[in-house]
């Protein structure tokens, strides 16, 4: 892959089929909007259903006896008591409590999946 070649998500062809305007984002060719415009997209999301392509985002598995406790020391949510098969929204914050990034934490049988 050349330095200027962008990666494509599994939904890339669908984005093109739907007329998406594609732009570089985090090393991927990602949709920024569709022909109907951002207001129409917003309304459709609120009134019907929408699919958000997040396949360009990272995934991480945390394993070990203290994985939940370690993660809980980094995010302001309860991870230790998260039941198997459940998911919780969390965020990483700076020293002032400002949000740096968000993530979903899923408790699986043998790990935490972020």
pLDDT score of 58: 86
Average pLDDT over residues 82-108: 95
> Over 80: is that where the pLDDT of 2 sits?
no
Mean of the pLDDT values across residues 15-19? Answer: 97
Task: State the chain's mean pLDDT as an integer.
Answer: 93
Q: What is the pLDDT of residues 40-90, one digit of tens each?
A: 999 999 999 988 898 888 899 999 999 999 999 999 999 999 999 999 999
Q: What are phi and psi of 100, to 5 degrees?
A: -95, -40
In degrees, rounded to 5, the angle at the alpha carbon of residue 114 between the alpha carbons of residues 108 and 55 is: 115
Name the 3-class secondary structure at 55: coil
pLDDT of residue 67: 96
Question: Rounded to the nearest 5°, which phi and psi values hold at 101?
Answer: -165, 160
Q: In a 3-state reduction of DSSP, which class is residue 47?
A: helix
In the chain the domains, ranked by start, together with CATH numbers, are: 1-56 (3.30.1360.120), 61-113 (3.30.70.1400)
- What confidence score (pLDDT) does residue 97 get? 92
Query: What is the C-alpha to C-alpha distance for residues 20 and 14, in angstroms, rounded to an integer?
Result: 9
Handedness of CA 86, 72, 60, 6 (dihedral sign): positive
- Is residue 1's pLDDT more than 80? no
């Amino acid at each position: 892959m050349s330095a200027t070649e962008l990666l494509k998500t599994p939904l890339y062809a669908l984005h093109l089929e739907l007329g998406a305007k594609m732009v570089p984002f985090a090393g991927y060719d990602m949709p920024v909007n569709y022909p109907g415009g951002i207001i129409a997209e917003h309304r459709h999301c609120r009134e019907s259903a929408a699919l958000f392509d997040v396949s360009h985002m990272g995934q991480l598995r945390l394993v070990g006896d203290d994985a939940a406790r370690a993660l809980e020391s980094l995010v302001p949510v309860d991870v230790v008591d998260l039941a198997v098969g459940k998911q919780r929204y969390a965020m990483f914050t700076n020293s002032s409590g400002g949000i740096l990034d968000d993530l979903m934490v899923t408790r699986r049988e043998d790990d935490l999946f972020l």
